Amino acid sequence: MTVEILSARIATDVERAAEILLSGGLIAVPTETVYGLGADASNGAAVRRVFDVKGRPTNHPLILHVADREAAKNASTDWSPAADILAGLFWPGPLSILTEKAGAVDDVVTGGRGTVVVRVPDHPATLEVLRILHSRGSIGLAAPSANKFGAVSPTSARHVVDDLGNSIDAVLDGDDCRVGVESTIVDCRTDVPVILREGGVPFEAITDALARHGMTITKSPDLVGINDSAGALAPGMLESHYAPRARVEIFADVGELERRESEVEASGMSVARLPHPDNLVEYSRNLYRWLRACDAQGVDVILAVLPPATELGAAIRDRLSKAAATR
Ligand code: TXA
Ligand code: MG
């Protein structure tokens, strides 16, 4: 199969992307976080192909992408006040909401769970694709990140073609992703929502926003430390995840990194230092691109300095920790 490259800037290409999806095809779509591998969520056979192409276990649920809050409510039987407030504040944007699943959402999307994670992505072309899907009766786009299971997420159309080019129908090229790490996942079923995965909307931003509504938020205990087990609430968060081919080693500061760098060099292995800009937006936007560049250069070991655990630093630390986890 030759992958078709469509441009997010050309209206007829965006319409064609929607048509391919509506006829059961798989398309990689741009979002502000990472590229997603999308299938029409109302087409169970198409969604099953997503798991095949990614090599992802079928009990690992997919995020349901929708055009707006109303469409999200259609996927839920219990849209809570917290869900409504967070959707109003952060959508379209890098926040995903876990809610009770409506019957219209196929079990294949949620891995048989009674819950569904929904999100409105912030990319104009993908939002247009979603509006077309809804207008034709689809509940939305089921889309995990467009990479092989466990590997580094793609933040450009080129990354998708490199990884999955032979096994999907098309890529909608919508330029490089602005955020660069995946969405924050929040369980909104309880009065105090729980963060299940750190991501593009920082804990601090959610805390501040909810405080204005007299509400609070907590982090899942699974987020403490780096060893999210297969039994964790968000079951995609296994030990080794978001991992390049090269071994990744993480350090608290540059001094520690430099000592290790000399050792690795002395052992004859090729080593690369990941940049670690103070600007956390810059760090997150480029993190996956840098990891991929190291693999492209055939580096054996990647050394990275962890950012502080505040703001976007929390998500960056999480991804680097999982990239560095034992395989
Ligand atoms: O930014 C993002 O969230 C990107 C873009 C494409 O939207 N998507 C993404 O999807 O990162 P994926 O499949 O790589 O990660 C989704 C995570 C997985 O850890 C999965 O287990 C969790 O969301 N998840 C999805 N539905 C769930 C559910 N019903 N219950 C618990 N966890 C769920
Ligand atoms: Mg993923």
pLDDT tens track for 153-184: 999 999 999 999 989 999 999 999 999 999 99
DSSP state of 193: -
Q: Is the dihedral of CA 255, 256, 262, 265 positive or negative?
A: negative
**Does ligand 1 lie within 6 Å of residue 243's CB atom?**
no
- The residue nearest atom 20 of ligand 1, judged by CA position, is 236
Q: Which atom of ligand 1 is nearest to the CA of 62?
A: 25
pLDDT of amino acid 239? 64
- What confidence score (pLDDT) does residue 229 get? 35
Question: Please, what is the average pLDDT of the chain?
Answer: 93
pLDDT in tens, 286-314: 999 999 999 999 999 999 999 999 999 99
Q: Which residues contact 111 (CB under 8 A, 6 or more apart)?
A: 58, 59, 60, 61, 62, 235
Helix or strand or coil: residue 65?
Answer: strand
Q: Ligand 1 center to residue 260 CA distance, Å? A: 34
pTM, to two decimals: 0.95
Return the exposure string of 175-202: e unless at least 16 CB atoms fall within 10 Å of the residue's CB, then b. eebbbbbbbbbbbbbeeebbbbbbbbbb
What distance in angstroms lies between residue 211's CA and the mean position of ligand 2's atoms? 30
Domains with residue ranges and CATH for the chain: 4-226 (3.90.870.10), 247-324 (3.40.50.11030)
Q: Which two tokens stand for residue 108?
A: 């294949």
Lowest mean pLDDT among 69-78, 239-248, 262-271: 239-248
pLDDT of residue 237: 47
pLDDT at position 226 is 38
pLDDT value of residue 238: 47
- Strands 194-197 and 36-40, bridge-based pairing: unpaired
Atom of ligand 1 nearest to the CA of 36: 6
Q: Which of 33, 63, 105 to mutate to test the pocket of ligand 1 (most atoms within 8 A of CB)?
A: 63
- Whether residue 233 is predicted with pLDDT greater than 60 in this model: the reply is no
For the cut 70, the answer to whether the pLDDT of residue 225 exceeds it is no
Ion ligand 2 — residues with CB < 5 Å: 145
What percent of the chain clears pLDDT 90, i.e. is strictly above it? 91
User: What is residue 73's predicted lDDT score, i.e. its pLDDT?
Assistant: 98
Tokens of 25: 């095809």
Q: Return the number of other C-beta atoms located less than 10 Å from residue 13's C-beta.
A: 17
Average pLDDT over residues 113-142: 98
What is the residue whose two structure tokens read 């001094």? 255
Nearest residue (CA) to ligand 1, atom 29: 116
pLDDT (0 to 100) of residue 222: 78
Q: What is the DSSP string of 287-298?
A: HHHHHHHHHHTT
